[in-house]
Amino acid sequence: MTDYPTFEHDVIVIGAGGAGLRAAIEASGAGVSVGLICKSLLGKAHTVMAEGGMAAAMGHNDDRDNWKVHFSDTMRGGQYVNNWRMAELHAKEAPDRVRELESWGAVFDRTKDGRINQRNFGGHRYPRLAHVGDRTGLELIRTLQDHGIHQGIEVYMEVTVLSLLKDGDRVIGCLAYEREHGRFRIYKAKAVILATGGIGRAYKITSNSWEGTGDGHALAYDAGAELIDMEFIQFHPTGMVWPPSVRGILVTEGVRGEGGILRNSEGKRFMFDDIPDNYKDQTSDTEEEGWRYVTGDKNARRPPELLTRDHVARCIMREVKAGRGSPHGGVYLDIAWIKEKIKDAPEHIKKKLPSMYHQFKQLANLDITTTPMEVGPTTHYVMGGIRVNADTQESTVPGLFAAGECAAGINGANRLGGNSLSDLIVFGKRAGEHAAIFAKENGHGTLDNAAIEQAAKAALEPFERDGGENPYTIQHDLQEMMQANVGIVRQHDEMVEALNGLDALKSRAARTFVPGNIDFNPGWHTALDLHNLLVVSEAIARAAIERKESRGGHFREDFPGKDPEFAKFNYSLKKSEGGGMEISKIPIPEMPDYLKEVIEEMG
Amino acid sequence: MKKATFSIRRGGRETAEMVDYQTEISEGMVVLDAVHQIQAESAPDLACRWNCKAGKCGSCSAEINGMPKLMCMTRLDTIPLDQPVTIEPIRAFPPIKDLIADVSWNYEVKKRIKKFKPRAPDAEDGTWRMSQEDVDRVQEFRKCIECFLCQDVCHVLRDHNKHEEFIGPRFLVYAAALEMHPLDTEDRTGDLKDMHGIGYCNITKCCTKVCPEHITITDNAIIPLKERVVDEYYDPLKRLVRLFRKK
Ligand SMILES: Cc1cc2nc3c(=O)[nH]c(=O)nc-3n(C[C@H](O)[C@H](O)[C@H](O)COP(=O)(O)OP(=O)(O)OC[C@H]3O[C@@H](n4cnc5c(N)ncnc54)[C@H](O)[C@@H]3O)c2cc1C
Ligand code: SF4
Ligand code: SF4
Ligand code: FES
């Protein structure tokens, strides 16, 4: 066979966002050799874009907060189809993981008494998000990066993993290519951790970067692992809608946490119109009470703008559909109004939301301290992903672990804002720890040269054709279709149509043509990404068709209500023997009594 | 619709040429949108880096009409479109392909700067107390998105190629963030003087002018560091103290 350069490590981590970096730090701390692979430069992963904060029940701003409240908030937000064990571990361990970041040099905003400051966010009962202005993700990734580079981790930047390599049932490495010269490489490992992030690029309007093509989801699926909860996609209620070129770029929930309100074209605060029953006693019924809440009054209840994201996104859709939207098809998000309440409002806004201020000023020519923003829903986060063991983060395939956005379970049907960054560090650490243990207990596997040759050959096909489809066009058509047919509001027939559409796109993807050579060729990369996007899109559509109810991020026009029957299981997708996608139900195990008590206690 | 012409560097490490592409312009477009459109329409193999499209990741640095900028934050309505807009990679580092420069040197430099070393936790809960006023200064530096535009314009790197001796403004900001961190106990002044070449900076402030994060690199980071070096090494009393300390 061709001699591809081969790199050997005990543990290979694929992905250098918050989850991958945290996993790599943990594994190398455990004394095994670690290789960290990422598609972009180090420090540029999606995590860098996170704005609002990371949730951890430290109770600095309200001492009534503790892990039990965080746990029950997460379960309620996820509509009780979460993996309760993950939700428990997350709520219990997040505070320590955040403090650990501080000991590694992170500089969070402070409370008056000098502790880490915590802010309000949707669905969190108390102020819970440790943050740095509206650039918390940058602080997280930079802290981990700067800590990690002194740990002896070998970092492979601008290298894209194409497939996982197996020896029998077990994952033993991966085939990748380095982008500069387009050359293939083999990474041998005793354990592999996937930390590849999200799938937003399957949709037209998204807050995700080009990296969010669901690679880890597809790599795991192709290697025989199960994907669960794929029907649950989070559409963030507030993305930019104007100008067209920035459509989808995120406007942090922190704007609402700081007192921003939503209005329709009639100037009405429409979020007061529809407050779900299970949030009624936690939600304020007057504007005055809502304002008191965001300014820290412990006896006030939160304003309806801070209800969970799925709900706020649907309310916005409703207003737009009813003709009460803004000129460019969104609604108004107003933070400027707080000048009625506080002195120096413009300065306060710039201090609390500096990057939002700049983003609108530079990209939309709009001053958020004087003028309301136009916002609308954007595809933001995937709750679904690789099914893992809650404690070890091992997937259903031996030797393969997953953490962060590409793993599933903690969020159930809807993720609370701020729960992702904390998820990354809690479960990134666990994945690193357990992958290291696995690596110590197992040797290297034997490479299957034929499989490697086949994968490499397939990857090069787009260059060998004499003309064919433009990969960018296929990607674009896929995004349009998913947006239209498997978007925020879903319906049986449209989704079935999407499945047929995906079949057609699959055959087109098999005929892509890329001009130029293999050196740093984004067209080639786009062609290779198509397979991943097609796998996740199919998984989303298949699970969404089966879930004949509405829950969290999954809303069915034809089944608008919640059905308790569907609260009993998660949908799992797996590659069948014949190569097709198989869907099955996995019963949700019963919650132990001590957690049931917590849920009851918290109301 | 209106069209505009973009003259883009095409080529690898060794040879390159400027190639003109035409594409349609719509309201609110930024330079990165134009590059993406060109990729999708006529040059699928045109290489460029980007991630966030919102000025947060520092991937898309380039020289637009010779000015170092983030492509994703440069609106087309702020540059003249009656003549071709030139787009080239940043020049202080070797080109790899098209708009991509080899910035790996920066990652190596960072490793040479001594890492954060906090004092022992001194609050009862096993952590620390820091007031907002104490961290404001450091938070300014930590806004850095590592776009390396400041490195690109610094004449010490760009014109004099002192990559061996001088770490450049980005890493002086990084060192300042560590040095001024309220918890840090490490001393980096010696390194700044000897290994990191802070003396090469002659305070032209070109770096501050291009920083998309508006970090006052020179006044807030470099000058105070220079003062520390002077205090430590050129203050006669301190010199004496150091002499004794060494023994
Ligand atoms: C604008 C925005 C704001 C957000 N704000 C918040 C917030 O305030 N709070 C919060 O909790 N969450 C927030 N989120 C969500 C959160 O940022 C993400 O869910 C989280 O950062 C994902 O981290 P990760 O480590 O799982 O993956 P990512 O950070 O997405 O990193 C993925 C890594 O995998 C690599 N990779 C992918 N595929 C491959 C491959 N084939 N080969 C090699 N490498 C590969 C990539 O290069 C990258 O390094 C926000 C998201 C966005 C988009
Ligand atoms: S001020 Fe110093 S670091 Fe900045 S550009 Fe000038 S010489 Fe370089
Ligand atoms: S200091 Fe400013 S210009 Fe320099 S790398 Fe950081 S963000 Fe870019
Ligand atoms: S793409 Fe992130 S800064 Fe331009």
CA of B213 to the centre of ligand 3 (A): 7
Closest chain A residue to B131 measured between Cα atoms? A114
* Maximum Cα interatomic distance, chain A, rounded to a whole number of Å: 72
Residue B219 sits in a domain of what CATH number?
A: 1.10.1060.10
CATH number at A245 reads 3.90.700.10
Rounded CA separation B24/A561 (Å): 45
Residue A463: CA count within 13 A, CB half-sphere: 15
pLDDT value, residue B102: 97
- CATH number at A537 reads 1.20.58.100
**Same domain (yes/no): B60, B131:** no
Concerning whether A256 is annotated as a catalytic residue, the answer is yes
Return the sign of the alpha-carbon dihedral for residues A467, A472, A475, A481. Answer: negative
Is B152 a pocket residue for ligand 3 (Cβ < 6 Å)?
Answer: no
Residues A467 and A371 in one domain: no
How many domains, chain B?
Answer: 2
CA distance A222 to A245: 34
Q: With a CB-CB cutoff of 8 Å, which residues 519-538 of chain A face chain B?
A: 519-524, 526
Which residues in chain A touch residue B30, judged by CB atoms under 8 angstroms apart? Answer: 245, 363
- Sign of the CA dihedral A86, A539, A200, A121? negative
**Alpha carbons A537 and A190: distance in angstroms, whole number:** 30
pLDDT digits (tens, 9 = 90+) for B222-237: 999 999 999 888 877 7
What's the one-letter identity of residue A555? F
Name the domain boundary from B50, B83, B101.
B101
Cα→Cα distances B25→A269, A430, B75, Å: 36, 48, 11
Residue closest via CA to ligand 2's atom 5 equals B154
- Among B97, B121, B142, the residue with its CB nearest the CB of A142 is B142
Count of residues making up chain B: 247
Residue A501 near ligand 1, beta carbon < 6 Å: no
Domain finish residue from B51, B82, B101: B101
pLDDT at position B235 is 75
Q: How many domains does chain A have?
A: 2
| Residue whose CB lies within 8 A of the most ligand 4 atoms, among B51, B75, B103, B213, for a mutation test | B51
Q: Check A46, A125, A236, A542 and give the catalytic one.
A: A236
Which residues neighbour A126 within 8 Å (Cβ) at sequence distance 6 or greater? A57, A59, A61, A62, A64, A65, A69, A118
Task: With CB atoms and an 8 Å threshold, state whether A517 touches B39.
Answer: no
Whether A187 is in the pocket of ligand 1, judged by its Cβ within 6 Å, is no
CB-based contacts of A121, cutoff 8 Å, min separation 6: A52, A53, A55, A128, A129, A253, A254, A257, A306, A416, A417, A418
Arithmetic mean of pLDDT, A89-110: 98
Average pLDDT along chain A: 96
- Assess whether the C-beta atom of B53 lies below 6 angstroms from ligand 4: yes
Domain range for B138: 104-246
Exposure letters A270-289 (e unless 16+ CB within 10 A, then b): bbbeebeeebeebbbeeeeb
List b or e across A553-590, with b for residues whose CB sees 16 or more CB atoms inside 10 angstroms.
Answer: bbbbeebeebeeebeeebbbbbbeeeeebebeeeebee
Q: A522 and B46: CB-CB below 8 Å?
A: yes
For A160-214, write each residue's pLDDT tens digit.
Answer: 999 999 999 999 999 999 999 999 999 999 999 999 999 999 999 999 999 999 9
Per-residue pLDDT at A378 exceeds 70: yes
By the 8 A CB rule, do A26 and A393 touch?
no
Same domain (yes/no): B110, B217: yes
Of the candidates A139, A67, A64, A134, the residue with the CA atom closest to the CA atom of residue A101? A139
Our answer to whether residue A263 is catalytic in this structure is no
Closest approach of chain B CAs to the CA of A123, in angstroms? 26
Name the pLDDT band for B245 (thresholds 50, 70, 90).
low
Cβ A124 vs Cβ A55: under 8 Å: yes
Clarify whether residues B123 and B239 are in a common domain: yes
Ligand 4 close to Cβ of residue B58 (< 6 A): yes
Q: What mean pLDDT do residues B69-73 have?
A: 97
Q: Distance from the CA of B71 to the center of ligand 4, in angstroms? A: 7
Q: Do A355 and B56 touch (CB under 8 A)?
A: yes
Residues B130 and B212 in one domain: yes
Give me the pLDDT at residue A374, please.
Answer: 96
Judge if B219 and B111 occupy the same domain: yes
Report the phi/psi class of residue A365: left, alpha or beta, with left for phi > 0 and alpha for psi in -120 to 50.
left
Q: How far is the CA of A373 from the centre of ligand 3 (A)?
A: 28
Span B3-62, pLDDT tens digits: 999 999 999 999 999 999 999 999 899 999 999 999 999 999 999 999 999 999 999 999
What's the gap in Å between B32 CA and the centre of ligand 4? 9
Which residues of chain B make contact with A355, given a CB cutoff of 8 A? 54-56
Do B96 and B114 sit in the same domain of this protein?
A: no
Out of A9, A256, A302, A380, the active site residue is A256
Helices and strands of chain A, counted as H and E runs: 16, 19
Residue A334 placed within a domain: yes
User: Is B178's CB within 8 Å of A245's CB?
Assistant: no
Q: Which among A454, A439, A452 has a CA at the least distance from the CA of A13?
A: A439
Q: What pLDDT band is residue B111 in, cutting at 50, 70 and 90?
A: very high
C-beta separation of A250 from A51 below 8 A: yes
The confidence score (pLDDT) of residue A205 equals 94
From residue A464, how far is each of A115, A179, A457, A518, A521 by CA, in Å?
60, 19, 10, 12, 15
Report the CATH number at residue B41: 3.10.20.30
What integer pLDDT is reported at residue B242 of this predicted model? 65
A296 touches B: beta carbon within 8 Å = no
Is A107–B181 a contact, with Cβ atoms under 8 angstroms apart?
yes
B150 Cβ inside 6 Å of ligand 3: yes
CA distance A490 to A504: 21
Average pLDDT over residues A481-485: 96
Is it the case that residue A2 has pLDDT exceeding 70? Answer: no
pLDDT in the model for residue A85: 98
Q: Are residues B96 and B126 in the same domain?
A: no
How many Å apart are CA A498 and CA A517, to the nearest integer?
A: 34
The CA distance from A221 to A228, in Å, is: 11
Is B99's C-beta closer than 6 angstroms to any atom of ligand 4? no
Residue of A nearest to B212 (CA): A358
Please report which helix (H) or strand (E) contains residue A146, including its range: helix A136-148
SS3 labels along A568-581: HEEEEEEECCCCCE
**B241 and B229 within one domain:** yes
Is the pLDDT score of B247 beyond 50? no
Look at residue A387 and give its three-state secondary structure: strand
Q: What is the largest CA-CA distance in chain B?
A: 76
Question: Which residue, B50, B79, B101, sits at the end of a domain?
Answer: B101
C-alpha A294/C-alpha A291 separation (Å) is 5
Q: Which two tokens stand for residue B155?
A: 């004449």
Q: Could you tell me the distance, in angstroms and rounded to a whole number, from the CA of residue A45 to the centre of ligand 1?
A: 6
Tokens of A110: 């402070």
Inform me whether the pLDDT recorded for A54 exceeds 90: yes
| pLDDT at site A43 | 97
Dihedral sign (CA B11, B12, B16, B18): positive
Judged by CB atoms closer than 8 Å, whether chains meet at A209 and B139 is answered as: no
Distance from CA of B235 to the nearest CA of A (A): 30
In a domain, A16, yes or no: no
In a domain, A515, yes or no: yes
Spatial distance between the Cα atoms of B212 and B56, rounded to a whole number of angstroms: 10
Residue A270 structural domain: 238-377
A96's CB contacts (< 8 A; 6+ apart) are none
CB contact at 8 A, A495 and A481: no
Distance from CA of A109 to the nearest CA of B (A): 7
| Residue B55, min C-alpha distance to chain A (Å) | 8
User: Which pLDDT value is given to residue B234?
Assistant: 80
Average confidence (pLDDT) over B187-205: 96
Yes or no, beta carbons of B55 and A471 under 8 Å apart: no
A265-283 confidence digits (pLDDT tens): 999 999 999 999 989 999 9
Q: What is the pLDDT of residues A550-584, one digit of tens each?
A: 999 999 999 999 999 999 999 999 999 999 999 99
pLDDT in tens, A215-238: 999 999 999 999 999 999 999 999
CB-CB: which of A43, A104, A155 is closest to B116?
Answer: A104
B156 lines ligand 2 (CB under 6 A): yes
Q: Do B24 and B124 have their domain in common? A: no
